[in-house]
Every structure is written in structure tokens, then in C-alpha cells.
Amino acid sequence: MTLRLIPCLLLVSACAGATAGAGSPVANRSPETTVTAFLAAARDTNLTLMANYWGGSSGPAAVSKQPSDYEKRIRVMQKYLTSDSARLVTLGSVDGHPDQVMVTMQLYVGNCQNRVPFVVGKWKDQYLVQNVDVTSAGNPGRPCDDQGNPL
């Protein structure tokens, strides 16, 4: 399966910023628990906790402070990924990247249902969300039409 994800699609120039709340991450020892916890932090508007679950080879963004605009990216992801609930759809491999796992989640917002792919990678003894196609979650202001179809 060849997947091309648009890297975070975080070209939004300005977002109304929610403030980060306190909190410490739960054990993110599997790709699924990492994404589930990341989405719960988004739902709770806990940007600090989201930054503990999102990162790259230098570790969680909350620790590495990378990329330099990580706080802005976390705010954008929070706006797109806030949902009423979510469930796992699939776990799969990422071609050419044996250290990464594709986790596809079904996000529910009211009567809307959108499938959102997450790329999760291993870092030390935990997993981190490394990439998410936020456009798959739909428009934060109107994620679907009146019949529940994604826009």
C-alpha cells in the first residue's frame, strides 16, 4: 500500500488559540493507544498533552520544541481533530518505512463520520504521532453536509 500524506497540512496562517492545559501522558506503548490518547487530548483542548504524543526522531514536540512552530501546528491539529468520539478502523504498515505504522481512525462529530489516517512511529520505548492528514477530518466549522456526508 503506497500512501502519500500531506505533511500535517498545517498551512493555516492563524488559528484562534486555545490554551494548553496541564497533564502528563499516559503510557503510549502501542500505535493505537498513542492515537487514542492524542485524540482525547485534542477533545480536552489539552495542547500540552497533544505535544507529548506528537513528534519525530528528536522526541515529543513538548520536549524537543521541534519543529520551531510546533505550538501553532498543535493548535491547528486540535481544531481539526476535535471529535465526539473515535474508533480504530485499521492498523497497517507504511511502505518503505518499517519503523512506522498507519493507524486509521473513524472520527465522529455529530452525525458526521470521517476516516483520518495517522502515521505513528517508534521513539525509544513509546510511539509518537508523526503525521496526520487533517484535511480528512473535514472542515472544523462544518465537517459534513446535512446528510452526514464529508464535505
List pLDDT tens digits, range 82-108: 999 999 999 999 999 999 999 999 999
pLDDT in tens, the chain (151 residues): 433 333 333 332 223 233 333 455 566 689 999 999 999 999 999 999 999 999 999 999 999 999 999 999 999 999 999 999 999 999 999 999 999 999 999 999 888 899 999 999 999 989 999 999 999 998 888 767 666 666 6
**Domain range summary for the chain, segments of one domain joined by +:** 31-137
pLDDT in tens, 69-85: 999 999 999 999 999 99
* CA dihedral for 24, 30, 34, 36, sign (positive or negative): negative
Grid coordinates given for 86:
473515535
What residues have CB less than 8 Å from 39, skipping those under 6 apart? 81, 83, 86, 105, 107
Q: How far apart are CA 19 and CA 61, in angstroms?
A: 16
- Architecture of the domain made up of 31-137: Roll (3.10)
Burial of 42 (0-12, 13-18, 19+ CB in 10 A): buried
